[in-house]
Amino acid sequence: MTVASSLLQRFQHPAQVITTGFGFVVLVGTALLTLPIATVSGVSAGWVNALFTATSAVCVTGLVVVDTETHWSVFGELVIMGLMQVGGLGIMTLATLFTLLISGRLGLRARMFAQAETKTLAMSDLRRVVRNVALFTLVCEVITAGVLTGRFLLGYDEPFVRAVYLGAFHAVSAFNNAGFALWSDSLMRFVTDPWICLPIAGAVIVGGLGFPVMFELFRSWRRPSHWSVLTRITLGVTALLLVVGTLVFLVTEWRNPRTLGALDDSGKVLAAFFTAVMPRSGGFNSLNIADMYPSSWLVTDLLMFVGGGSAGTAGGIKVTTFGLLAFVIWAEMRGESDVNIGHRRLPQAAQRQAISIALLSVALVAVATYLLLVLTPHGLDQVLFEVVSAFGTVGLSTGITASVGPVGHVLLVVLMFIGRTGPLTLGTALALKDRTRRYQLPEERVIVG
């Protein structure tokens, strides 16, 4: 048996690879965060707080039950930073490898949809993919950290070591879509500072697009006609949601004195754009989420549920799933038997996979929302926001995270873990399990609607 064949057999069960790996890292992070040295007070944070924080960091969510700035020591913050890096890099690497495995092709034209058979993966190819993902991550984080460090040095008179630390921590948090910040108000103090908000937003977007998309853009950015369906859908839907989200937040919150109403016009545009980027799984906030109108919460819920790109650090059902469903609906409305995207036809297996992921995600959010409503005294708007944020591994909150109680915290931990590993696990498992039945049953029409 060759090394490649052995790897293929090992990848036949992605659920085992992903859940075991992430579960182990969460346990290690929990153990480290329970150490007295991890807190400012020198008293153990307790298993529930440590488990919640470790899961939030590994699953790159950003929800917190204790204030990161005042509760965790430098050691605790470094542990959180390491967990964010491992979680983001791990999910991007695994997602990229499984995407290439499903597509049956190594290279930058990794196709979006599963094939019935898979071809050979050589050890050199796997090493190259992992190396490129790690290098891409490091370069993006170093660039972001450099810009932030310079701003903290020149604009806020931070000491050099402190500026480097702040820049590095928030660069890792931003690129990995983790949302952890070293200030109690997240980034609200920088709401009108483009040198802080734009680099962080850029890192969130790049990390959320995914390695296959970004690498293909680097190779063929001058030839859009050669882009794969994955790249076209990811870029198109991402741009659409960013523009629509920015406009909706501008219109909705323009006169709200507690959010955009207190800013000048340029500040309003920057804050609205930043607020539209973060639900894609970024998790930072430059406006107080609790002060936003419920209508803005609903829009944020939708953006968080969709999430970012496949094989990236973002969560949600993914923009690819959302885009595929849109094309399916459009073809159905036109009465077409095939779903076409550009000059490519969408396989029925991919359509079923997208529908399965979307409906199962809706069911999970509905069940978790019901349970949290039963367990807590909070209203539907706040609970739904919290649940979608946990499932989408976003980290935004209306401020109720710490008050949902130990059982509620465990529920959110489970939701964050499923939200981080579930869509990738389910999507890969469905794709790899594609099989052809050798017979067909008689057809019978069913009334729909």
Cα dihedral 227/425/321/384 (nearest 10): -140
β-bridge partners, 39: 72
What are the structure tokens assigned to 365, written together?
């959010």
Give residue for tokens 């920057």: 270
Q: Other C-beta atoms within 10 Å of 332: how many?
A: 11
Q: Which helix (H) or strand (E) holds 103?
A: helix 74-103
With beta carbons less than 8 A apart as the criterion, state whether 415 and 315 touch. Answer: no
DSSP 3-state of 340: strand
CA atoms within a 13 Å half-sphere pointing along the CA-CB vector of 245: 27
DSSP 3-state of 222: coil
With beta carbons less than 8 A apart as the criterion, state whether 286 and 191 touch. Answer: yes
177: alpha, beta or left, given left = phi > 0 and alpha = psi -120 to 50? left
Residue pLDDT tens, the chain, 449 long: 444 445 444 544 556 667 777 888 899 999 999 999 999 999 999 999 999 999 999 988 999 999 999 999 999 999 999 999 988 887 667 666 655 555 544 333 333 333 322 233 444 556 677 778 888 889 999 999 999 999 999 999 999 999 999 999 999 999 999 999 999 999 999 999 999 999 999 999 999 888 788 888 888 878 887 788 888 899 999 999 999 999 999 999 999 999 999 999 999 999 999 999 999 889 999 999 999 999 999 999 999 999 988 777 788 899 989 999 999 998 888 888 888 887 788 888 778 888 888 998 999 999 999 999 999 999 999 999 999 999 999 999 999 999 999 999 999 999 998 888 776 565 555 555 556 667 677 877 776 66
